[in-house]
């Protein structure tokens, strides 16, 4: 199972409804929320995400790059996001927060920056629906894929398998038709792509190409 989640960070913010229609063949729309504190960049908050939720043809995969997730993350679950992913670095109580998100009907995701070890979370994987292994430093689109994050991805994949739990493994940052193959072979099943999708002449064709590249890899 391969999921392609275009990131609207690379879309035209004043033509979002149009750009959302262009990616209707994708699985989920990846919505990057940034607060200019957790990362040195600013996007949008709950009001804007609520409107995206109203008009999007596909469900929302919200990626919170913000501080104080214990205060803010439940709002995104409450507005109807399919999944809400917060950073491990932004809370002392990831399991408690994940439980709150699930109680509000959202899937709960845990994100790890490139320098953050997965180790402390491997015994709690059943508490999460998704783990996001960042393949760039969060904050900006258009950066290069960091291949050194792949052993961590495989470590999480192996822990998910041995625990026998159903946790999606997402990668985000620098994903294109070649790096998607590397991430797939390392264990990812859910792929965020911003510039690769919205930089294409036809985003629907690029989504299909990415899906094909991830699907036809040699299974390991």
Residues at the interface with Zn ion (CB under 5 A): 32, 63, 172
Q: Is 32 a catalytic residue?
A: yes
| The two three-digit tokens of residue 25, written as one number | 């063949």
H helix intervals, the chain: 16-22, 46-55, 69-78, 94-103, 150-163, 179-186, 195-198, 203-215
| The two three-digit tokens of residue 175, written as one number | 């994903």
Binds ligand DX5 (CB under 6 A): choice among 143, 154, 185, 208:
143
Cα separations in angstroms, 196 against 31, 125, 157, 178: 15, 30, 25, 11
Q: Does 11 bind ligand DX5 (CB under 6 A)?
A: no
Residue nearest to Zn ion (CB): 63
Give me the least distance between CB of 131 and ligand DX5, in Å please: 14
Q: Which residue's CB is nearer to ligand DX5, number 29 or number 175?
A: 175
Instruction: Give dist(CA 18, CA 144) in Å, integer.
Output: 27
Radius of gyration of the chain (CA): 16
Q: Which residue's CB is nearer to Zn ion, number 46 or number 163?
A: 46
3-state SS string over 97-112?
A: HHHHHHHCCCEEEEEE
Contact call for residues 136 and 174 (beta carbons, < 8 A):
yes
Of the residues 19, 27, 129, 172, only one is catalytic, namely 172
Q: Is 172 a catalytic residue?
A: yes
Give me the least distance between CB of 173 and ligand DX5, in Å please: 5
Spell out, one character per residue from 148 to 177, where the chain touches ligand DX5: x when CB under 6 A holds, - when not. Answer: ------------------------xxxx--
- Mind telling me the catalytic residues? 32, 172
Q: Enumerate binding residues for ligand DX5 (CB under 6 A).
A: 7, 9-10, 30, 32, 63, 136, 138-143, 172-175, 192-196
């Amino acid at each position: 199972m391969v999921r392609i989640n275009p990131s609207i960070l690379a879309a035209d913010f004043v033509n979002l409804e149009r750009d959302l229609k262009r990616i209707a063949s994708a699985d989920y729309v990846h919505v990057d929320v940034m607060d200019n504190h957790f990362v040195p960049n600013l996007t949008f908050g709950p009001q804007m995400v609520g409107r995206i939720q109203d008009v999007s043809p596909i469900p929302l995969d919200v990626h919170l790059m913000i501080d104080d997730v214990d205060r803010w993350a439940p709002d995104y679950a409450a507005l109807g996001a399919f999944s809400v992913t917060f950073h491990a670095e932004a809370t002392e109580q990831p399991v408690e927060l994940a439980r709150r998100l699930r109680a509000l009907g959202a899937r709960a995701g845990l994100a790890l920056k490139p320098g953050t070890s997965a180790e402390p979370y491997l015994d709690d994987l059943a508490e999460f629906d998704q783990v996001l292994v960042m393949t760039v430093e969060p904050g900006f689109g258009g950066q290069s894929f960091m291949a050194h994050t792949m052993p961590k991805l495989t470590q999480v994949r192996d822990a998910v398998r041995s625990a026998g739990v159903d946790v999606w493994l997402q990668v985000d940052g620098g994903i294109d038709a070649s790096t998607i193959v590397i991430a797939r072979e390392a264990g990812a099943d859910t792929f965020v792509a911003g510039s690769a999708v919205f930089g294409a002449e036809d985003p629907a064709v690029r989504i299909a190409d990415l899906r094909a590249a991830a699907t036809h890899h040699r299974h390991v």
